[in-house]
Amino acid sequence: MSCEGKVALVTGTSRGLGKAIAQRLAREGATVALTARTAEPDPKYQGSLQETLQEITDAGGSAIAVTADLSNPEERERLFSEVVDRVGAPDILVNNAAVTFLRPLDEFPDRRVRLMMEMHVLAPLHLTQLAIPGMRQRGCGWVLNVTSVGGDLPGGPPFDDFDRTAGFGIYGTAKAALNRLTKSLAAELYEDGIAVNAAAPSQPVATPGAGTLDLAKTDTEDISLITQTAFVLCTGDPKSLTGRIAHTQPFLREIGWQQP
């Protein structure tokens, strides 16, 4: 379980879970390629690529930053090519970048459905496809998709908690698709020594994104749980730790980790 000498590409690293995971991998010795749309500090947003890059390097870590809009396939290819040219092909790929809109299905705009599916499903698949050749050549690799408990099927009928979950239909559908994609990739890449897993906080984490969507007022969990889960899944034995859809709290209990 070490990141020394490895290259990690982490998407959506200007803020939130992606930033925290990137910082953890950098602390563990990885050279981290950061990417997001927000390059420079902007009063409209909390966090930027340059701020994440500065924080990692100030702490003694190694990182680069490449701005990209991952909803665009050409931008994904440009990003990957630049990362390879600057620091080498990634040993670790963390698909975290996402865009989320919440609204009832009967009035959900088609363009937003397509954008969410592009970001939550197609972009992770495409970036994984780009990473596979280098991982195959080395005989090992780690792919982690950041998912959500929203991808689990809701209970019911009766739908007693409908008011609490209304608006999550497309988000849950996208994350459920990402979970299924994770399992399929894990099965197909198992003999290549490439681990493919997904990780989700068991409860909301108070990140800027969650705050914007009003999702993290109560019953939140510390961000260290997802960063520890990500670290374990990005360094574990690909032959035994793959194909997992890991919710932080039960997963960390399973492996015997206790929060410091």
Alpha carbon distance 5, 2 (integer Å): 9
Residues 7, 63: contact at Cβ < 8 Å? Answer: no
CB 133 within 8 A of CB 127: no
Of 177, 189, 195, the C-alpha closest to 231 is 195
3-state SS class at 103: coil
> What does the angle CA 143 – CA 193 – CA 241 come to, to the nearest 5 degrees?
65
Q: For residue 72, give the nearest of 37, 27, 20 by alpha carbon.
A: 37
Given 80, 142, 168, 171, the catalytic residue: 171
The Cα–Cα gap between 193 and 140 comes to: 5
Which single residue is written with the structure tokens 């982490």? 10
Task: Judge if the upstream peptide bond of residue 109 is cis by omega within 30 degrees of 0.
Answer: no
Q: Write out the E strands in 46-111.
A: 62-67, 92-95
171 is catalytic: yes
Task: Give the residue numbers marked as catalytic.
Answer: 171
